[in-house]
């Protein structure tokens, strides 16, 4: 497939969410890979789909990280056979809370916004993918009003960084780290752009320090400038190297939190990749960036209490105090 035909990651994830919402009985991995937009273009009915299966495994982690309650169901009479596992998103845990109601005027505006969003976000290929799912006997409901997809789009830095990767030239950009008052200008040699836990990262060599670093695209706070200085790319799969490093960091960083049972926080955090429950009911969460996790935990308000590590507890506390001060 040519680069012009590649399906954007956010469109593939959105199509996957739509497909899994549209079924009560769930879809097998083979049904997903052969029909859903972003997978089916690369699916080989009689060949090796191992790389596509690895992509699907990463996508499952990403949509769970986005708060989507993805479930797996074993096929009756075939317990333990991972090839026949079925995947679905239960509507009851993904719909808007039952205590939220809209006036007729608000519904009209939301319906209009949903229509514009759907037509502007989904290509003809996506709509044909939904028709294919209907052919499988999967019923869909349109419009999609009543659901709250949280798929992130790419940051503005993505396209110029992708161009720099193709041309193998150094780039400059302002980068704002947490806790710093002003951004620092960075000059780096891009090696890979990867998505990990629902966020885009740049894996790059920094000539000034001689260190290979990972930059979060959301912290690039200004234009990315391509230079005329070229560089030699190292051998090997740099994307795999970047993801392996991010996974290592993710495994090593663990937070312990208490959540109110039955709340939005309990549902979303329990469904995060790698979450485990301690005997006392507390949850252990893996993460790659303490500041991003602090933002997420603070958004749940009193539904979450951070037990450890102390620096994460203080980061969440400071956000809550700032929010209280801002709102009087």
Task: Estimate to the nearest angstrom the gap between the alpha carbon of 41 and the chain centroid.
Answer: 21
Angle, helices 9-21 vs 50-65, to 10°: value is: 80
Residue 2 has pLDDT above 50, yes or no: no
The reported pLDDT for the residue numbered 314 is 96
Mean pLDDT of 27-52: 89
247 in any annotated domain: no
Q: Are 256 and 284 in contact (CB under 8 A)?
A: yes
Cα Rg of the chain (Å, integer): 21
Tokens of 181: 């008052």
Distance CA 214, CA 238 (A): 12
Task: Estimate to the nearest angstrom the gap between the alpha carbon of 49 and the chain centroid.
Answer: 22
Judge if 282 and 190 occupy the same domain: no
Judge if 178 and 273 occupy the same domain: no
Least confident of 50-54, 212-216, 244-248, 297-301: 50-54
141 in any annotated domain: no
The reported pLDDT for the residue numbered 69 is 84
Judge if 131 and 167 occupy the same domain: no
Higher-confidence position of 128 and 67: 67
Residue 121 has pLDDT above 80, yes or no: no
The reported pLDDT for the residue numbered 136 is 46
Judge if 231 and 258 occupy the same domain: no
Higher-confidence position of 152 and 45: 45
Largest Cα separation within the chain, whole Å, is 63
242 in any annotated domain: no
Judge if 22 and 119 occupy the same domain: yes
Mean pLDDT of 24-33: 89
Judge if 188 and 259 occupy the same domain: no
Judge if 231 and 320 occupy the same domain: no
Distance CA 192, CA 190 (A): 6
Residue 92 has pLDDT above 80, yes or no: no
Distance CA 227, CA 244 (A): 29
Domain that holds residue 13: 3-135
Judge if 196 and 89 occupy the same domain: no
Q: What is the CATH number of the domain that holds 168?
A: 2.30.30
Average pLDDT value over all residues in the chain = 82
Distance CA 152, CA 174 (A): 22
Least confident of 79-83, 138-142, 206-210, 244-248: 138-142
Judge if 9 and 120 occupy the same domain: yes
CA atoms within 13 A on the CB side of 321: 6
Judge if pTM exceeds 0.75.
no
pLDDT in tens, 254-276: 999 999 999 989 999 998 889 99
175 in any annotated domain: yes
Which bin fits 115, alpha (ψ -120 to 50), beta or left (φ > 0)? alpha
The reported pLDDT for the residue numbered 183 is 95
Count of domains forming the chain: 3
């Amino acid at each position: 497939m040519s680069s012009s035909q590649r399906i954007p990651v956010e469109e593939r994830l959105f199509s996957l969410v739509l497909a899994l919402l549209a079924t009560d009985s769930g879809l097998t991995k083979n049904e997903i890979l052969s029909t859903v937009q972003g997978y089916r273009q690369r699916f080989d009915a009689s060949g090796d789909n191992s790389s596509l299966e690895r992509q699907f495994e990463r996508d499952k982690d990403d949509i769970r990280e986005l708060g989507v309650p993805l479930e797996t169901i074993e096929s009756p009479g075939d317990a333990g056979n991972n090839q026949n596992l079925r995947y679905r998103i239960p509507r009851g845990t993904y719909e808007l809370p039952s205590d939220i109601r809209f006036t007729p005027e608000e519904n009209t505006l939301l319906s209009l916004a949903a229509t514009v969003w759907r037509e502007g976000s989904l290509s003809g290929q996506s709509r044909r993918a939904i028709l294919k799912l209907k052919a499988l006997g999967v019923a869909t409901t349109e419009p999609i009003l009543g659901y709250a997809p949280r798929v992130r789009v790419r940051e503005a830095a993505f396209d110029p960084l992708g161009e720099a990767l193709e041309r193998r030239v150094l780039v400059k950009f302002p980068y704002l780290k947490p806790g710093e008052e002003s951004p620092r200008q960075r000059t780096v040699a891009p090696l890979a752009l990867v998505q990990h836990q629902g966020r885009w990262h740049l894996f790059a060599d920094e000539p000034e320090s001689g260190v290979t670093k990972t930059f979060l695209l959301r912290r690039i706070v200004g234009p990315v400038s391509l230079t005329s200085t070229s560089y030699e790319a190292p051998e090997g799969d740099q994307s795999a190297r970047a993801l392996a490093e991010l996974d290592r960091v993710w495994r090593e960083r663990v937070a312990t939190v208490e959540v109110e049972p039955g709340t939005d926080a309990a549902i979303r955090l329990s469904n995060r990749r790698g979450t485990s429950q301690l005997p006392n009911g507390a949850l252990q969460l893996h993460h790659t960036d303490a500041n991003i996790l602090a933002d997420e935990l603070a958004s749940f308000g009193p539904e979450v209490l951070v037990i450890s590590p102390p620096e994460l507890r203080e980061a969440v506390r400071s956000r809550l105090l700032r929010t209280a001060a801002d709102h009087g």
